[in-house]
Amino acid sequence: MLGTIVNTVTIIAGAVMGSYMKRGIKPPYQQALFNAMGLCSLALGVNAFCQNMPKSNYPVLFIVSLAAGSLIGFMLNLDGKFKKLVDRRKKKKDGDAPLSEGLSTGILLYCIGTFSMVGPVLSALYGDNTYLYTNATLDLITSAVLATTYGIGMVWAAPVLFCWQGMFYLMAKLSADAISDDLRTELCIVGGVLIVASGLSILKIKDCKTINMLPAFLIIVLFFLAKSLVG
Q: H/E/C letters for each residue in the chain?
A: CHHHHHHHHHHHHHHHHHHHHHCCCCHHHHHHHHHHHHHHHHHHHHHHHHHHHHHCCCCCHHHHHHHHHHHHHHHHCHHHHHHHHHHCCCCCCCCCCCHHHHHHHHHHHHHCCHHHHHHHHHHHHHCCCHHHHHHHHHHHHHHHHHHHHHCHHHHHHHHHHHHHHHHHHHHHHHCCCCCCHHHHHHHHHHHHHHHHHHHHHHCCCCCCCHHHHCHHHHHHHHHHHHHHHHC
CA-based nearest residue to 7, from 168, 208, 228: 168
Q: Is the pLDDT of residue 199 over 90?
A: no
Q: Is the pLDDT of residue 146 over 70?
A: yes
Query: What are the pLDDT digits (tens) for 66-86?
Result: 999 999 999 999 888 888 877
Query: What are the pLDDT digits (tens) for 90-119?
Result: 655 545 667 888 888 899 889 887 788 888
Q: Is the pLDDT of residue 150 over 80?
A: yes
> Which has the higher per-residue pLDDT, 177 or 90?
177
Q: What is the mean pLDDT of the chain?
A: 87
Q: Which of 18-32, 49-63, 105-119 has the lowest mean pLDDT?
A: 18-32
Of the pLDDT bands very low, low, confident and very high (cuts 50, 70, 90), residue 151 is confident
> Which has the higher per-residue pLDDT, 231 or 192?
192
Residue 18 CB-half CA count within 13 A: 26
Work out the average pLDDT over 155-169.
93
